[in-house]
Structure 1
């Protein structure tokens, strides 16, 4: 499949769209009960200085193409278009893009992209109407090209068009569920559309672009994924402005928000509010509730919930409240507004469910995942057996259930039993999917059984007709790393690209790891450069850290520092892993002076939370044991005792116990005869006084004899020996 890697709607090339006749093919945006005879994707302009040009009748040359489009002969219309060197008129172009997008196929989407690219090259993008662009955005979302879809909606907004709510909300929904900064971008896009809608004086003009419940659910999901409770409340309160009412999905998302905010005590109050609003819960409501309790590790409550559903009890709210009642006096104001009953006395009579809700296979499987997380293999297997004997067919194990059992056995190292479950799936007619095979694949790789992993890949293709995907290859690449086979990792990476499978962010960083761990930082850097060129992935902190690790492992401190400087210039701030790698590189290179510079930066980052007016834009740093222990080790070896004391004090402040035994051994072996020379000049002795005081203070901290006790301490020094040193 050919994709366009450049943005067809560049910021430096503003687009000007003009409305054309509405295409005739049916679209999901057309509403039969619409009260407004307006274009499904309404265009509007703020300026009155330029009148909209009149549309000329379709040219004679376009008639054959237009006839095919009206007959819905999209394939023939595409061939006619592609065989002609002349650019058709606006009506034909818009109809063709609409029909290609409406096919919802990779081929149709690629062809529509080709038209967009041609129009962009010829600066004729204004020939397309808003309906065709909206449908193309939806098609891009379904094809997995979220960034492309986002660029289309943004370009429409810049050009004065209000996209139909079904178009822009589809993009917001996909962004909200994606990784990296997708949820943040979803919020930005939602806000951009809402600002435009509010600027339109005539509500009828913006009727089809106004947000509906699905649009709000999409952006609220972005807030929940970010854990942004304040923004969630703000948007939730804005819904009445557009006559939008929350539905059961809205409250299901609120359950997720409570889980992300670490508020297990409020989960039941979401169910309480659903019932209080007169909304019937759906099975997804119970799936979300159970998943939240399992996520909190509260299997006792999860088991009570499942048992209550098995018994057909309708007083589930009471059961959950009795199990998790916590009357918090310092409740978050956001949740007090979202869930008012969370502040009401426990004497409040909880509402009943409108009907009985029997557990289905997903309910049982979710509880099974809780057992898996705690390593309760026998409980997982017993639940699988119990599900097989359920009378209700909706409670029978499905492929997700079996995959969970396989995952449990793989984590327990029982690969043979996991393969038996795979065979059972085939026997009972529940086909394994790619996820099931990938879990098995990972198990073999973790056990260093690469040959069995390769055999499983062949079995996937031959017996199950399942081709490996990018996740499969990432697992194989990581398996090669575990056996120090960087060449094998590169071979799998190249094979993946040869087969037309686009590498993911994990693919690049895993291959970088292969080269970094085998002492080939320059090759890791080449992979990083390839990652920068790939428009489908976004370089993250993990990739930068892998580069730093690669150079630091060889003691190439200057190269590692250059990478860190580049990170900062690209708005990536070093984290504990970054500093930890650099500290290890400094120790390997025996450059204690660099350790002092690093400690000063770390100390500044650690103290930012205490300094309100800090001018640095870098976020505060929470140091870990590995970083501080390495820095302290370097300073003790280099006799930088004052700095060593600063570092161990930082360790104690952060609840990290310093390894006094190790530091005592280093001091005794390397510095026990420091400052003992009787032949040093008085000037030299004076210069060493401050360092000597620091050494005595460090000995005091270690619990060794020191000047604070008024006793002399040394290990049989030889007269004339002077072990004072500034490096090691």
Structure 2
């Protein structure tokens, strides 16, 4: 029987959850009954494989089989559902957890998962409201988080860093809103720290929204670190982040100011190909730079020049 359990675990870790589920039923037929840990591993595999309906089926199956849910069950499923955009289901499991004897055991992680789900859906006001409501359960943690958000909005970044250090020093894990506000605050002049904090944020499983990436791009451009901004925009593409006007415009402006019209025109063309409308600043920067780049114009064929003029006419 040991070999069957080992094989089942192997399939789950490979993301072959349906195969693992069939093995689970085979184990039951052979008299090896699953326990809460067995189900938790299978639910985790479902969530990692984005098979959220099956994860919920397994959750309900546990109740049918008389197996009590524990904190790991709730925590794993809430995280998977909220990260996968299933906020309504995530809230339902959170409610079940709060009504159970098990509860959250004073742990923040299920609530932080809900926060991240709301953030990921760009429901920032709802996320802030939810975090404020968390204060009744976690007054100290929420109080510090709200303090950081307030300091960042006031521009008191050094003070925000002190509070952030206190959270880390006590072994706390900052939530996604704390990371997001600090990154935006650091982009005012602490670019290295902003970039490091973004990597730390991703390491915690929180993927930034496009406006956060855009704040970094703008910050790099303001400090003349155009190559860093270009690398970041490439990283956004690799990660599947949807680029928008705010991603490209600062780079087009910066490249034109730097006199690198060829790269600016290349990014500009990418924008048009992706149906992203440049703003007036980018148009003005590009046209001014274009008029000054007679040597570049001489190397281009009329098709390219006419293409750009046609795009201008359609705006």
TM-score range, shorter chain: 0.5 to 0.7
What is the distance in 2 between the residues matched to 1:586 and 1:252? Answer: 48
1:542 equivalent to 2:295? Answer no
SS for the counterpart of 2:67 is coil
In structure 2, the partner of 1:268 is 18
Pick closer, same or farther for the CA change 1:644–1:372 going to 2, 3 Å.
closer
**Is 1:300–2:53 an aligned residue pair?**
yes
Q: Please state how far the C-alpha of 1:286 moved relative to its aligned partner.
A: 0.9
Going from structure 1 to structure 2, the CA distance change for 1:414 and 1:480 (only over 3 Å counts) comes to same
Q: Indicate the residue corresponding to 1:643 in structure 2.
A: 263
Superposition deviation, residue 379 in structure 1: 2.6
Of 691, 703, 706, the residue aligned with 2:297 is: 691
Question: How many angstroms apart in 1 are the aligned matches of 2:259 and 2:158?
Answer: 43
Distance, in Å, in 2 between the alignment partners of 1:441 and 1:416 is 12
> Is the contact between residue 371 and residue 380 of structure 1 (CA under 8 Å) also seen in structure 2?
no
Say if 1:582 and 1:298 are closer, same or farther in 2 by CA, change over 3 A.
closer
CA deviation profile, 1:506-558 (whole Å, cap 9, x unmatched): 9xxx8x9699545468xx89xxxxxxxxxxxxxxx827989xxxxxxxxxxxx
The alignment yields a C-alpha RMSD, in angstroms, of 5.4
Alpha-carbon distance change, 405 to 282 in structure 1, aligned in 2, over 3 angstroms: closer
Q: How many residues align?
A: 267
Residue of structure 1 aligned with 2:254, choices 629, 634, 638:
634
Does the aligned pair in 2 maintain the 1:415–1:444 contact within 8 Å? no
Within 2, Cα distance between the matches of 1:253 and 1:399?
A: 29
Point out where structure 1 has 5 or more consecutive residues left out of the alignment: 1-244, 259-265, 313-356, 389-395, 423-436, 451-475, 526-540, 547-576, 607-618, 676-686, 707-728
Richer in helix (by share): 2
Write the distance in 2 (CA, Å) between the matches of 1:579 and 1:364: 35
1:306 CA drift (Å)? 3.1
Q: Does the 8 Å contact 1:256/1:292 carry over to 2?
A: yes
* 2:155 alignment partner, SS class: coil
- 1:703 and 2:310 matched: yes
- The answer to whether the Cα contact below 8 Å between 1:380 and 1:405 also exists between their aligned partners in 2 is no
**Cα 1:545–1:378, aligned 2, differ >3 Å: closer, same or farther?**
closer
Shift of 1:268: 2.0
Report the secondary structure of 2:87's partner residue.
coil
CA distance in 2, matches of 1:494, 1:445: 11
1:418 to 134, 147, 157: 134
User: Which has more radius of gyration?
Assistant: 1
TM-score (norm 1): 0.29
- 8 Å CA contact 1:294–1:302 kept in 2: the answer is yes
Instruction: Please tell me whether residue 360 in structure 1 is matched to residue 65 in structure 2.
Output: no
CA spacing shift, 1:311–1:586, aligned 2, 3 Å? closer
Match of 2:103 in 1: 398
Residue 64 of structure 2 corresponds to residue 311 of structure 1: yes
Q: Does 1:383 align with 2:96?
A: yes
CA distance in 1, matches of 2:80, 2:96: 12
Mapped to 2, the partners of 1:656 and 1:298 lie a distance apart of 31
Instruction: Indicate how the Cα distance of structure 1 residues 505 and 656 shifts in structure 2: closer, same or farther if over 3 A, else same.
Output: farther
Report the CA distance between 1:269 and its aligned residue: 0.7
The structure showing larger relative contact order (alpha-carbon pairs under 8 Å, at least 6 residues apart) is 2
1:269 and 1:622 map into 2 onto residues whose CA distance is: 31
The separation in 1 between residues aligned to 2:164 and 2:97, in whole angstroms, is: 37
Take 2:187 and 2:312, find their aligned partners in 1: how far apart are those partners? 43
CA 1:491–1:296: 2 relative to 1, 3 Å: same
Shift of residue 270 of structure 1? 1.7
